[in-house]
Amino acid sequence: MLVVGLGNPGVEFANTRHNVGADVVAELAVRHGGRLKAEKGLFATACEVRINDRRVLLAVPVTFMNDSGQAVAPLVRRAGDGALLVVVHDELDLPPGRIKIKSGGGNAGHNGLKSIDSHLHTNQYERVRIGIGKPPGRQSGADFVLKRPGAAERAVLAEAINTAADAVEVMVEQGVDASMGRFNGAP
């Protein structure tokens, strides 16, 4: 299994709404004794961990979100034929903190997913979507996702990051359908 958490590189983007996917992968690395580090030939930091005796490659692209596919395509090759790809990302169409597992489908305007679809020539991969909600008023989506949330929202997103990591662990241990059944109905 290959689990990729989307985000933007650099300290100026740390803890922004757009980086919650990368935060989930970092949490999984900590939980399972891994350390994300740069690897030659990959546009990502990565590490291999064992979750319930299953090999899982964790990765965070070091490309900007809109170029995520440049990192994901070589990661898919490294993970090997038949490896399940799981992409963890922020989702404007879900309320803050809501987690939803999805198999394949459209990208809902998410530029990171558009890039992955383009580089892989498919949209058939698993997604762990983390709700960040819609921007208030007339604020643009781009401005909204690149801002750090206030303390109350950050607490909600921190809980969602942990829950999303739990959802990935259930995927590894029991499969995608079990993860959907457990997490898609949660508030």
* Residues recognised as catalytic: 18
Most distant CA pair in the chain, distance: 48
73 half-sphere exposure, CB direction, 13 A CA radius: 14
Please report, as a single letter, which amino acid is at residue 76. Answer: V
Residue 35 CB coordination number (10 Å): 11
What does the block give as tokens for 83?
């490896």
Is the Cβ–Cβ distance between 46 and 77 less than 8 Å? Answer: no
What does the block give as tokens for 139?
């604020």
Pairing of strands 85-91, 126-131: parallel
Is the Cβ–Cβ distance between 82 and 125 less than 8 Å? Answer: no
- Write out the H or E segment, with its range, that includes residue 49: strand 44-51
φ, ψ of residue 56 in degrees (nearest 5): -130, 125
